[in-house]
Structure 1
Protein backbone atom coordinates (compact mmCIF):
# COMPACT_ATOMS: atom_id res chain seq x y z
CA UNK A 1 0.00 0.00 0.00
CA UNK A 2 1.53 3.30 -1.10
CA UNK A 3 0.64 6.01 1.39
CA UNK A 4 0.49 9.68 0.53
CA UNK A 5 3.45 10.48 2.78
CA UNK A 6 5.61 7.92 0.98
CA UNK A 7 4.66 9.31 -2.41
CA UNK A 8 5.26 12.89 -1.23
CA UNK A 9 8.72 11.95 0.01
CA UNK A 10 9.53 10.17 -3.24
CA UNK A 11 8.46 13.17 -5.32
CA UNK A 12 10.71 15.44 -3.27
CA UNK A 13 13.69 13.06 -3.11
CA UNK A 14 13.63 12.30 -6.84
CA UNK A 15 12.96 15.96 -7.66
CA UNK A 16 9.96 15.00 -9.74
CA UNK A 17 8.38 17.77 -7.67
CA UNK A 18 9.64 20.29 -5.15
CA UNK A 19 12.68 22.22 -6.31
CA UNK A 20 13.02 20.75 -9.78
CA UNK A 21 15.87 20.97 -12.27
CA UNK A 22 13.97 23.14 -14.76
CA UNK A 23 15.53 26.63 -14.85
CA UNK A 24 13.20 29.52 -14.14
CA UNK A 25 14.41 31.35 -17.24
CA UNK A 26 13.46 28.34 -19.40
CA UNK A 27 9.94 28.35 -17.96
CA UNK A 28 9.48 32.07 -18.54
CA UNK A 29 10.87 31.85 -22.07
CA UNK A 30 8.39 29.09 -22.91
CA UNK A 31 5.47 31.02 -21.40
CA UNK A 32 6.40 33.99 -23.62
CA UNK A 33 6.67 31.72 -26.67
CA UNK A 34 3.28 30.20 -25.91
CA UNK A 35 1.78 33.69 -25.60
CA UNK A 36 3.21 34.45 -29.07
CA UNK A 37 1.53 31.23 -30.34
CA UNK A 38 4.81 29.51 -31.20
CA UNK A 39 3.69 26.22 -32.85
CA UNK A 40 6.36 24.20 -31.00
CA UNK A 41 4.85 25.33 -27.68
CA UNK A 42 1.17 24.97 -28.67
CA UNK A 43 1.49 21.14 -28.98
CA UNK A 44 -1.52 21.05 -31.30
CA UNK A 45 -3.67 23.31 -29.12
CA UNK A 46 -5.62 26.22 -30.61
CA UNK A 47 -6.25 28.32 -27.48
CA UNK A 48 -9.63 29.98 -27.17
CA UNK A 49 -8.40 32.56 -24.66
CA UNK A 50 -5.92 35.37 -25.14
CA UNK A 51 -3.35 33.80 -22.76
CA UNK A 52 -0.81 36.54 -22.31
CA UNK A 53 2.54 35.73 -20.75
CA UNK A 54 1.26 37.03 -17.39
CA UNK A 55 -1.88 34.88 -17.63
CA UNK A 56 0.16 31.77 -18.46
CA UNK A 57 2.45 32.40 -15.47
CA UNK A 58 -0.54 32.86 -13.16
CA UNK A 59 -2.10 29.60 -14.41
CA UNK A 60 1.13 27.63 -13.95
CA UNK A 61 1.51 29.05 -10.46
CA UNK A 62 -1.98 27.78 -9.57
CA UNK A 63 -1.90 24.44 -11.32
CA UNK A 64 1.76 23.52 -11.18
CA UNK A 65 3.28 25.42 -8.30
CA UNK A 66 5.88 27.57 -10.03
CA UNK A 67 6.71 30.91 -8.41
CA UNK A 68 4.00 33.46 -9.24
CA UNK A 69 6.48 36.36 -9.00
CA UNK A 70 7.15 37.76 -12.51
CA UNK A 71 10.24 39.53 -11.17
CA UNK A 72 11.88 36.21 -10.34
CA UNK A 73 13.80 35.56 -13.54
CA UNK A 74 16.55 33.10 -12.62
CA UNK A 75 17.34 30.02 -10.54
CA UNK A 76 15.48 26.73 -10.24
CA UNK A 77 11.69 26.71 -10.33
CA UNK A 78 9.31 24.61 -8.24
CA UNK A 79 6.46 22.14 -8.67
CA UNK A 80 4.10 21.66 -5.73
CA UNK A 81 4.04 17.94 -4.78
CA UNK A 82 0.57 18.33 -3.29
CA UNK A 83 -0.70 19.42 -6.70
CA UNK A 84 1.05 16.45 -8.29
CA UNK A 85 -0.58 13.98 -5.89
CA UNK A 86 -3.99 15.62 -6.28
CA UNK A 87 -3.74 15.30 -10.06
CA UNK A 88 -2.55 11.67 -9.85
CA UNK A 89 -5.68 10.96 -7.77
CA UNK A 90 -7.81 12.63 -10.45
CA UNK A 91 -6.10 10.58 -13.15
CA UNK A 92 -6.78 7.42 -11.15
CA UNK A 93 -10.48 8.30 -10.99
CA UNK A 94 -10.61 8.57 -14.78
CA UNK A 95 -8.82 5.23 -15.18
CA UNK A 96 -11.19 3.58 -12.68
CA UNK A 97 -14.19 4.82 -14.66
CA UNK A 98 -12.68 3.71 -17.96
CA UNK A 99 -11.78 0.26 -16.62
CA UNK A 100 -15.29 -0.23 -15.21
CA UNK A 101 -16.69 0.38 -18.70
CA UNK A 102 -14.03 -1.84 -20.36
CA UNK A 103 -13.14 1.21 -22.41
CA UNK A 104 -10.95 1.57 -25.47
CA UNK A 105 -7.69 3.34 -24.62
CA UNK A 106 -4.90 4.89 -26.67
CA UNK A 107 -1.58 5.68 -24.98
CA UNK A 108 1.30 7.69 -26.40
CA UNK A 109 4.33 9.66 -25.32
CA UNK A 110 6.54 12.35 -26.79
CA UNK A 111 9.06 11.67 -24.03
CA UNK A 112 9.91 7.96 -24.47
CA UNK A 113 13.39 8.09 -22.94
CA UNK A 114 11.95 9.14 -19.56
CA UNK A 115 8.24 8.38 -19.34
CA UNK A 116 7.78 5.13 -21.23
CA UNK A 117 7.88 3.01 -18.06
CA UNK A 118 5.06 5.06 -16.50
CA UNK A 119 2.79 4.46 -19.50
CA UNK A 120 3.77 0.82 -19.94
CA UNK A 121 2.72 0.07 -16.37
CA UNK A 122 -0.60 1.86 -16.83
CA UNK A 123 -1.12 -0.07 -20.08
CA UNK A 124 -0.51 -3.37 -18.28
CA UNK A 125 -3.04 -2.47 -15.59
CA UNK A 126 -5.67 -1.40 -18.11
CA UNK A 127 -5.12 -4.53 -20.17
CA UNK A 128 -5.55 -6.73 -17.09
CA UNK A 129 -8.76 -4.86 -16.24
CA UNK A 130 -10.25 -5.79 -19.61
CA UNK A 131 -9.71 -2.55 -21.53
CA UNK A 132 -8.93 -2.66 -25.23
CA UNK A 133 -5.58 -0.98 -25.93
CA UNK A 134 -5.47 0.54 -29.39
CA UNK A 135 -2.43 0.66 -31.69
CA UNK A 136 -3.73 2.31 -34.89
CA UNK A 137 -1.39 3.18 -37.78
CA UNK A 138 1.41 1.03 -36.36
CA UNK A 139 4.40 1.33 -38.68
CA UNK A 140 2.97 4.23 -40.67
CA UNK A 141 5.63 6.51 -42.13
CA UNK A 142 5.28 10.28 -42.18
CA UNK A 143 7.36 13.45 -42.37
CA UNK A 144 7.52 14.81 -38.84
CA UNK A 145 7.63 18.59 -38.80
CA UNK A 146 10.21 20.10 -36.47
CA UNK A 147 11.92 23.50 -36.09
CA UNK A 148 14.96 22.13 -37.91
CA UNK A 149 12.81 20.87 -40.80
CA UNK A 150 10.87 17.74 -41.76
CA UNK A 151 12.35 14.42 -40.60
CA UNK A 152 11.46 10.93 -41.89
CA UNK A 153 9.60 9.18 -39.08
CA UNK A 154 7.47 6.18 -38.25
CA UNK A 155 4.71 5.66 -35.69
CA UNK A 156 5.47 2.66 -33.47
CA UNK A 157 4.13 1.07 -30.28
CA UNK A 158 6.07 -0.49 -27.40
CA UNK A 159 3.84 -2.59 -25.13
CA UNK A 160 0.85 -0.71 -26.58
CA UNK A 161 2.35 2.75 -25.92
CA UNK A 162 2.71 4.94 -28.98
CA UNK A 163 5.94 6.74 -29.80
CA UNK A 164 7.82 8.11 -32.78
CA UNK A 165 10.98 6.72 -34.32
CA UNK A 166 13.03 9.02 -36.54
CA UNK A 167 15.41 7.88 -39.27
CA UNK A 168 18.53 9.94 -39.81
CA UNK A 169 18.86 8.61 -43.37
CA UNK A 170 16.10 7.45 -45.68
CA UNK A 171 13.12 5.67 -44.08
CA UNK A 172 12.74 1.92 -44.66
CA UNK A 173 11.36 0.87 -48.04
CA UNK A 174 7.84 -0.51 -48.06
CA UNK A 175 4.20 0.43 -48.02
CA UNK A 176 3.28 3.21 -45.58
CA UNK A 177 1.48 0.79 -43.28
CA UNK A 178 4.00 -2.00 -43.36
CA UNK A 179 7.63 -2.58 -42.46
CA UNK A 180 9.77 -5.37 -41.16
CA UNK A 181 10.03 -5.28 -37.35
CA UNK A 182 13.82 -5.02 -37.53
CA UNK A 183 13.51 -1.95 -39.74
CA UNK A 184 11.25 -0.27 -37.21
CA UNK A 185 13.62 -1.18 -34.41
CA UNK A 186 16.61 0.31 -36.22
CA UNK A 187 15.48 3.88 -35.53
CA UNK A 188 15.63 5.64 -32.20
CA UNK A 189 12.47 6.71 -30.30
CA UNK A 190 12.59 10.49 -30.10
CA UNK A 191 11.42 13.32 -27.91
CA UNK A 192 8.77 15.31 -29.73
CA UNK A 193 6.14 17.94 -29.02
CA UNK A 194 4.32 17.17 -32.26
CA UNK A 195 0.57 16.40 -32.37
CA UNK A 196 1.09 14.59 -35.70
CA UNK A 197 1.38 11.07 -34.20
CA UNK A 198 -1.97 11.19 -32.44
CA UNK A 199 -3.64 12.82 -35.42
CA UNK A 200 -2.33 10.01 -37.63
CA UNK A 201 -3.51 7.38 -35.14
CA UNK A 202 -6.99 8.88 -34.84
CA UNK A 203 -7.29 9.31 -38.60
CA UNK A 204 -6.40 5.64 -39.08
CA UNK A 205 -9.17 4.62 -36.68
CA UNK A 206 -11.69 6.76 -38.53
CA UNK A 207 -10.60 5.48 -41.95
CA UNK A 208 -10.99 1.87 -40.80
CA UNK A 209 -14.51 2.56 -39.52
CA UNK A 210 -13.66 2.36 -35.82
CA UNK A 211 -14.82 4.73 -33.12
CA UNK A 212 -12.51 7.10 -31.33
CA UNK A 213 -10.89 5.86 -28.12
CA UNK A 214 -12.75 6.41 -24.89
CA UNK A 215 -9.54 7.74 -23.33
CA UNK A 216 -6.15 9.02 -24.39
CA UNK A 217 -3.29 8.87 -21.88
CA UNK A 218 -0.21 10.81 -22.89
CA UNK A 219 1.80 14.01 -22.85
CA UNK A 220 2.93 16.81 -25.13
CA UNK A 221 1.20 16.67 -28.53
CA UNK A 222 -0.49 13.34 -27.76
CA UNK A 223 -2.57 14.91 -24.96
CA UNK A 224 -3.20 18.29 -26.57
CA UNK A 225 -3.73 16.90 -30.07
CA UNK A 226 -6.30 14.34 -28.90
CA UNK A 227 -8.05 16.80 -26.62
CA UNK A 228 -8.31 19.29 -29.45
CA UNK A 229 -10.12 16.64 -31.50
CA UNK A 230 -12.62 15.91 -28.74
CA UNK A 231 -11.07 12.78 -27.23
CA UNK A 232 -11.13 12.56 -23.46
CA UNK A 233 -7.49 12.96 -22.45
CA UNK A 234 -5.35 12.84 -19.34
CA UNK A 235 -1.65 13.54 -19.28
CA UNK A 236 1.60 14.55 -17.70
CA UNK A 237 3.23 17.94 -18.13
CA UNK A 238 6.39 19.67 -16.99
CA UNK A 239 6.42 23.26 -15.79
CA UNK A 240 7.90 24.32 -19.15
CA UNK A 241 5.01 22.81 -21.15
CA UNK A 242 2.22 25.34 -20.57
CA UNK A 243 -0.01 24.09 -23.40
CA UNK A 244 -1.23 21.01 -21.50
CA UNK A 245 -2.23 23.15 -18.51
CA UNK A 246 -3.98 25.65 -20.79
CA UNK A 247 -5.79 22.75 -22.51
CA UNK A 248 -6.99 21.58 -19.09
CA UNK A 249 -8.09 25.11 -18.16
CA UNK A 250 -10.08 25.34 -21.40
CA UNK A 251 -11.68 21.92 -20.95
CA UNK A 252 -9.83 20.07 -23.72
CA UNK A 253 -7.75 17.90 -21.36
CA UNK A 254 -9.49 16.31 -18.37
CA UNK A 255 -6.48 15.98 -16.04
CA UNK A 256 -2.94 17.35 -16.22
CA UNK A 257 -0.37 16.01 -13.74
CA UNK A 258 2.41 18.52 -13.00
CA UNK A 259 5.86 16.94 -12.69
CA UNK A 260 9.43 17.16 -13.91
CA UNK A 261 9.52 14.89 -16.95
CA UNK A 262 13.31 14.65 -17.11
CA UNK A 263 14.44 12.56 -14.13
CA UNK A 264 15.58 8.91 -14.23
CA UNK A 265 12.98 6.65 -15.89
CA UNK A 266 12.74 4.27 -12.91
CA UNK A 267 11.65 7.14 -10.65
CA UNK A 268 8.22 7.22 -12.30
CA UNK A 269 7.41 3.61 -11.39
CA UNK A 270 6.06 4.54 -7.96
CA UNK A 271 3.76 7.11 -9.58
CA UNK A 272 2.19 4.62 -11.98
CA UNK A 273 1.87 2.06 -9.17
CA UNK A 274 0.09 4.70 -7.07
CA UNK A 275 -2.32 5.57 -9.90
CA UNK A 276 -3.19 1.90 -10.43
CA UNK A 277 -3.64 1.44 -6.67
CA UNK A 278 -5.97 4.43 -6.42
CA UNK A 279 -7.88 3.20 -9.45
CA UNK A 280 -8.37 -0.22 -7.83
CA UNK A 281 -6.28 -1.87 -10.54
CA UNK A 282 -3.16 -2.97 -8.65
CA UNK A 283 -1.86 -6.33 -9.82
Structure 2
Protein backbone atom coordinates (compact mmCIF):
# COMPACT_ATOMS: atom_id res chain seq x y z
CA UNK A 1 0.00 0.00 0.00
CA UNK A 2 1.32 3.45 -0.98
CA UNK A 3 0.12 6.46 1.00
CA UNK A 4 -0.80 9.73 -0.67
CA UNK A 5 2.18 11.45 0.91
CA UNK A 6 4.58 8.71 -0.16
CA UNK A 7 3.24 8.83 -3.72
CA UNK A 8 3.56 12.63 -3.81
CA UNK A 9 7.21 12.28 -2.78
CA UNK A 10 7.75 9.61 -5.45
CA UNK A 11 6.09 11.68 -8.18
CA UNK A 12 8.55 14.49 -7.54
CA UNK A 13 11.61 12.29 -7.09
CA UNK A 14 10.95 10.31 -10.28
CA UNK A 15 10.01 13.49 -12.16
CA UNK A 16 6.61 12.09 -12.99
CA UNK A 17 5.37 15.45 -11.73
CA UNK A 18 7.02 18.65 -10.65
CA UNK A 19 9.73 19.63 -13.12
CA UNK A 20 9.36 17.04 -15.89
CA UNK A 21 11.58 16.13 -18.83
CA UNK A 22 9.16 17.38 -21.50
CA UNK A 23 10.62 20.65 -22.86
CA UNK A 24 8.41 23.72 -22.74
CA UNK A 25 9.05 24.23 -26.47
CA UNK A 26 7.60 20.79 -27.22
CA UNK A 27 4.45 21.49 -25.23
CA UNK A 28 3.92 24.90 -26.85
CA UNK A 29 4.38 23.36 -30.30
CA UNK A 30 1.69 20.80 -29.49
CA UNK A 31 -0.69 23.54 -28.32
CA UNK A 32 -0.19 25.45 -31.57
CA UNK A 33 -0.76 22.32 -33.63
CA UNK A 34 -3.86 21.42 -31.63
CA UNK A 35 -5.31 24.88 -32.19
CA UNK A 36 -4.73 24.27 -35.92
CA UNK A 37 -6.49 20.87 -35.59
CA UNK A 38 -3.43 18.98 -36.74
CA UNK A 39 -4.33 15.26 -36.58
CA UNK A 40 -0.88 14.45 -35.19
CA UNK A 41 -1.95 16.01 -31.90
CA UNK A 42 -5.76 15.80 -31.93
CA UNK A 43 -5.31 12.00 -31.55
CA UNK A 44 -8.72 11.17 -33.01
CA UNK A 45 -10.59 13.86 -31.09
CA UNK A 46 -12.74 16.28 -33.09
CA UNK A 47 -13.04 19.31 -30.79
CA UNK A 48 -16.59 20.63 -30.42
CA UNK A 49 -15.38 24.19 -30.85
CA UNK A 50 -12.32 26.06 -32.00
CA UNK A 51 -9.58 26.29 -29.40
CA UNK A 52 -7.03 29.08 -29.72
CA UNK A 53 -3.45 28.45 -28.68
CA UNK A 54 -3.97 30.80 -25.75
CA UNK A 55 -7.06 28.85 -24.63
CA UNK A 56 -5.17 25.56 -24.83
CA UNK A 57 -2.36 27.00 -22.68
CA UNK A 58 -4.89 28.23 -20.12
CA UNK A 59 -6.59 24.82 -20.05
CA UNK A 60 -3.29 23.00 -19.61
CA UNK A 61 -2.38 25.37 -16.78
CA UNK A 62 -5.64 24.43 -15.01
CA UNK A 63 -5.46 20.72 -15.71
CA UNK A 64 -1.71 20.10 -15.37
CA UNK A 65 -0.13 23.09 -13.71
CA UNK A 66 2.04 24.20 -16.65
CA UNK A 67 2.98 27.88 -16.82
CA UNK A 68 0.06 30.03 -17.96
CA UNK A 69 2.43 32.42 -19.74
CA UNK A 70 2.85 32.13 -23.52
CA UNK A 71 6.05 34.15 -23.24
CA UNK A 72 7.72 31.36 -21.26
CA UNK A 73 9.19 29.35 -24.12
CA UNK A 74 12.24 27.57 -22.68
CA UNK A 75 13.21 25.10 -20.00
CA UNK A 76 11.45 22.01 -18.66
CA UNK A 77 7.70 21.97 -18.32
CA UNK A 78 5.96 21.40 -14.99
CA UNK A 79 3.11 19.30 -13.61
CA UNK A 80 1.46 20.02 -10.27
CA UNK A 81 1.61 16.77 -8.24
CA UNK A 82 -1.65 17.70 -6.48
CA UNK A 83 -3.42 17.64 -9.83
CA UNK A 84 -1.85 14.27 -10.60
CA UNK A 85 -2.98 12.82 -7.27
CA UNK A 86 -6.52 14.13 -7.68
CA UNK A 87 -6.74 12.71 -11.19
CA UNK A 88 -5.35 9.34 -10.05
CA UNK A 89 -8.10 9.18 -7.44
CA UNK A 90 -10.72 9.88 -10.12
CA UNK A 91 -9.04 7.31 -12.41
CA UNK A 92 -9.21 4.70 -9.64
CA UNK A 93 -12.85 5.57 -9.02
CA UNK A 94 -13.74 4.70 -12.62
CA UNK A 95 -11.90 1.39 -12.30
CA UNK A 96 -13.75 0.64 -9.05
CA UNK A 97 -17.10 1.33 -10.71
CA UNK A 98 -16.50 -0.92 -13.72
CA UNK A 99 -15.11 -3.67 -11.48
CA UNK A 100 -18.24 -3.63 -9.31
CA UNK A 101 -20.34 -3.98 -12.45
CA UNK A 102 -18.02 -6.69 -13.81
CA UNK A 103 -18.02 -4.73 -17.01
CA UNK A 104 -16.08 -5.18 -20.24
CA UNK A 105 -12.77 -3.33 -20.43
CA UNK A 106 -10.29 -2.66 -23.24
CA UNK A 107 -6.77 -1.50 -22.41
CA UNK A 108 -4.29 -0.15 -24.95
CA UNK A 109 -1.10 1.87 -25.03
CA UNK A 110 0.97 3.88 -27.46
CA UNK A 111 3.84 3.77 -24.94
CA UNK A 112 4.43 0.01 -24.58
CA UNK A 113 8.11 0.39 -23.63
CA UNK A 114 7.19 2.52 -20.61
CA UNK A 115 3.59 1.89 -19.62
CA UNK A 116 2.84 -1.72 -20.51
CA UNK A 117 3.49 -2.93 -16.96
CA UNK A 118 1.14 -0.32 -15.49
CA UNK A 119 -1.75 -1.27 -17.74
CA UNK A 120 -1.05 -5.01 -17.52
CA UNK A 121 -1.36 -4.89 -13.73
CA UNK A 122 -4.73 -3.17 -14.12
CA UNK A 123 -5.83 -5.80 -16.65
CA UNK A 124 -4.85 -8.60 -14.25
CA UNK A 125 -6.72 -7.01 -11.35
CA UNK A 126 -9.84 -6.24 -13.38
CA UNK A 127 -9.92 -9.77 -14.75
CA UNK A 128 -9.58 -11.19 -11.22
CA UNK A 129 -12.51 -8.99 -10.18
CA UNK A 130 -14.69 -10.59 -12.84
CA UNK A 131 -14.36 -8.04 -15.65
CA UNK A 132 -14.15 -9.16 -19.25
CA UNK A 133 -10.80 -7.91 -20.60
CA UNK A 134 -11.35 -7.61 -24.34
CA UNK A 135 -8.68 -8.55 -26.91
CA UNK A 136 -10.40 -8.11 -30.29
CA UNK A 137 -8.85 -8.08 -33.78
CA UNK A 138 -5.59 -9.72 -32.69
CA UNK A 139 -3.10 -9.67 -35.58
CA UNK A 140 -5.16 -7.37 -37.75
CA UNK A 141 -3.24 -4.87 -39.88
CA UNK A 142 -3.34 -1.15 -39.06
CA UNK A 143 -1.96 1.37 -41.57
CA UNK A 144 -0.63 4.39 -39.68
CA UNK A 145 0.84 7.56 -41.16
CA UNK A 146 4.22 8.33 -39.58
CA UNK A 147 6.96 10.84 -40.36
CA UNK A 148 8.49 8.08 -42.49
CA UNK A 149 5.29 7.63 -44.50
CA UNK A 150 2.48 5.11 -44.12
CA UNK A 151 3.56 2.01 -42.23
CA UNK A 152 1.62 -1.16 -41.65
CA UNK A 153 1.52 -2.49 -38.08
CA UNK A 154 -0.15 -5.48 -36.50
CA UNK A 155 -2.49 -5.18 -33.55
CA UNK A 156 -1.31 -7.40 -30.72
CA UNK A 157 -2.03 -8.00 -27.04
CA UNK A 158 0.43 -8.57 -24.21
CA UNK A 159 -1.05 -9.56 -20.85
CA UNK A 160 -4.39 -8.17 -21.94
CA UNK A 161 -3.03 -4.82 -23.16
CA UNK A 162 -3.28 -3.79 -26.82
CA UNK A 163 -0.32 -2.36 -28.73
CA UNK A 164 0.92 -2.28 -32.30
CA UNK A 165 4.15 -3.67 -33.69
CA UNK A 166 5.81 -3.89 -37.07
CA UNK A 167 5.18 -7.24 -38.78
CA UNK A 168 7.98 -9.65 -37.98
CA UNK A 169 9.56 -7.33 -35.39
CA UNK A 170 9.08 -9.86 -32.62
CA UNK A 171 6.95 -12.92 -32.04
CA UNK A 172 3.39 -12.29 -30.92
CA UNK A 173 3.15 -11.78 -27.18
CA UNK A 174 6.60 -10.28 -26.68
CA UNK A 175 6.81 -7.12 -24.62
CA UNK A 176 7.87 -4.74 -27.36
CA UNK A 177 5.80 -2.55 -29.57
CA UNK A 178 5.67 0.73 -31.44
CA UNK A 179 5.19 4.20 -30.02
CA UNK A 180 2.10 5.67 -31.62
CA UNK A 181 -0.37 8.51 -31.08
CA UNK A 182 -2.82 7.22 -33.67
CA UNK A 183 -6.52 6.53 -32.96
CA UNK A 184 -6.57 3.89 -35.72
CA UNK A 185 -5.64 0.96 -33.41
CA UNK A 186 -8.68 1.55 -31.16
CA UNK A 187 -10.90 1.90 -34.20
CA UNK A 188 -9.52 -1.37 -35.54
CA UNK A 189 -10.07 -3.09 -32.18
CA UNK A 190 -13.63 -1.83 -31.90
CA UNK A 191 -14.30 -2.84 -35.50
CA UNK A 192 -13.14 -6.33 -34.60
CA UNK A 193 -15.91 -6.55 -32.01
CA UNK A 194 -18.60 -6.06 -34.66
CA UNK A 195 -20.27 -9.39 -35.24
CA UNK A 196 -18.03 -11.19 -32.75
CA UNK A 197 -20.70 -11.61 -30.12
CA UNK A 198 -18.59 -9.77 -27.55
CA UNK A 199 -19.85 -6.52 -26.04
CA UNK A 200 -18.39 -3.10 -26.66
CA UNK A 201 -16.18 -1.99 -23.78
CA UNK A 202 -17.80 -0.26 -20.85
CA UNK A 203 -14.44 1.42 -20.28
CA UNK A 204 -11.29 2.01 -22.31
CA UNK A 205 -8.06 2.56 -20.38
CA UNK A 206 -4.91 3.83 -22.05
CA UNK A 207 -3.23 6.88 -23.53
CA UNK A 208 -2.94 8.91 -26.73
CA UNK A 209 -5.28 7.78 -29.51
CA UNK A 210 -6.64 4.88 -27.47
CA UNK A 211 -8.36 7.32 -25.13
CA UNK A 212 -9.28 10.09 -27.58
CA UNK A 213 -10.41 7.66 -30.26
CA UNK A 214 -12.69 5.84 -27.82
CA UNK A 215 -14.03 9.03 -26.29
CA UNK A 216 -14.83 10.47 -29.70
CA UNK A 217 -16.97 7.39 -30.36
CA UNK A 218 -18.88 7.85 -27.12
CA UNK A 219 -17.15 5.15 -25.10
CA UNK A 220 -16.08 6.00 -21.56
CA UNK A 221 -12.30 6.42 -21.57
CA UNK A 222 -9.64 7.25 -18.99
CA UNK A 223 -5.92 7.63 -19.42
CA UNK A 224 -2.53 9.15 -18.74
CA UNK A 225 -1.24 12.22 -20.57
CA UNK A 226 1.90 14.35 -20.64
CA UNK A 227 2.08 18.14 -20.96
CA UNK A 228 2.40 17.83 -24.75
CA UNK A 229 -0.83 15.78 -25.03
CA UNK A 230 -3.52 18.51 -24.91
CA UNK A 231 -6.12 16.39 -26.72
CA UNK A 232 -6.91 14.27 -23.66
CA UNK A 233 -7.43 17.35 -21.51
CA UNK A 234 -9.57 19.08 -24.13
CA UNK A 235 -11.57 15.86 -24.39
CA UNK A 236 -12.01 15.90 -20.62
CA UNK A 237 -13.07 19.56 -20.67
CA UNK A 238 -15.60 18.84 -23.43
CA UNK A 239 -16.96 15.74 -21.67
CA UNK A 240 -15.69 13.01 -23.99
CA UNK A 241 -12.76 11.82 -21.87
CA UNK A 242 -13.79 10.80 -18.37
CA UNK A 243 -10.39 11.26 -16.68
CA UNK A 244 -7.02 12.51 -17.94
CA UNK A 245 -4.14 12.05 -15.49
CA UNK A 246 -1.29 14.56 -15.93
CA UNK A 247 2.14 12.97 -15.61
CA UNK A 248 5.32 12.34 -17.56
CA UNK A 249 4.52 9.32 -19.73
CA UNK A 250 8.08 8.39 -20.71
CA UNK A 251 10.12 7.80 -17.56
CA UNK A 252 11.51 4.37 -16.63
CA UNK A 253 8.83 1.69 -16.53
CA UNK A 254 9.74 0.79 -12.94
CA UNK A 255 8.86 4.31 -11.80
CA UNK A 256 5.17 3.64 -12.48
CA UNK A 257 4.97 0.73 -10.01
CA UNK A 258 4.07 2.89 -6.99
CA UNK A 259 1.28 4.44 -9.09
CA UNK A 260 0.03 0.95 -9.89
CA UNK A 261 -0.12 0.01 -6.21
CA UNK A 262 -1.80 3.29 -5.31
CA UNK A 263 -4.44 3.06 -8.04
CA UNK A 264 -5.26 -0.59 -7.31
CA UNK A 265 -5.61 0.17 -3.62
CA UNK A 266 -7.83 3.21 -4.26
CA UNK A 267 -9.95 1.13 -6.66
CA UNK A 268 -10.29 -1.65 -4.06
CA UNK A 269 -8.58 -4.03 -6.51
CA UNK A 270 -5.49 -4.88 -4.46
CA UNK A 271 -4.95 -8.58 -4.00
**Of 237, 243, 249, which residue of structure 2 is paired with 1:249?**
237
Query: What is the distance in 1 between the residues matched to 2:250 and 2:190?
Result: 28
Query: What is the distance in 1 between the residues matched to 2:267 and 2:78?
Result: 27
CA RMSD of aligned residues (A): 1.5
1:88 maps to 2:88: yes
Deviation at 1:102, TM superposition (A): 0.4
Q: Which moved more, 1:143-152 or 1:9-18?
A: 143-152
1:274 maps to 2:268: no
2:150 maps to 150
1:201 maps to 189
User: Aligned with 1:145: secondary structure?
Assistant: strand
Query: What is the distance in 1 between the residues matched to 2:92 and 2:153?
Result: 32
**Contact 2:104 2:132 survives alignment (8 Å):** yes
Query: What is the distance in 1 between the residues matched to 2:48 and 2:60?
Result: 17
- Consecutive unaligned residues of structure 1, counting only runs of 5 or more, are 173-181
Query: What is the distance in 2 between the residues matched to 1:62 and 1:188?
Result: 34
Deviation at 1:211, TM superposition (A): 2.6
1:189 maps to 177
Query: What is the distance in 1 between the residues matched to 2:9 and 2:68?
Result: 24
**Contact 2:27 2:228 survives alignment (8 Å):** yes
The total of aligned residue pairs comes to 271
1:176 maps to none
TM-score by length of 2: 0.97
**Contact 1:165 1:184 survives alignment (8 Å):** no
1:109 maps to 2:117: no
1:127 maps to 2:115: no
- Consecutive unaligned residues of structure 2, counting only runs of 5 or more, are none
2:4 maps to 4
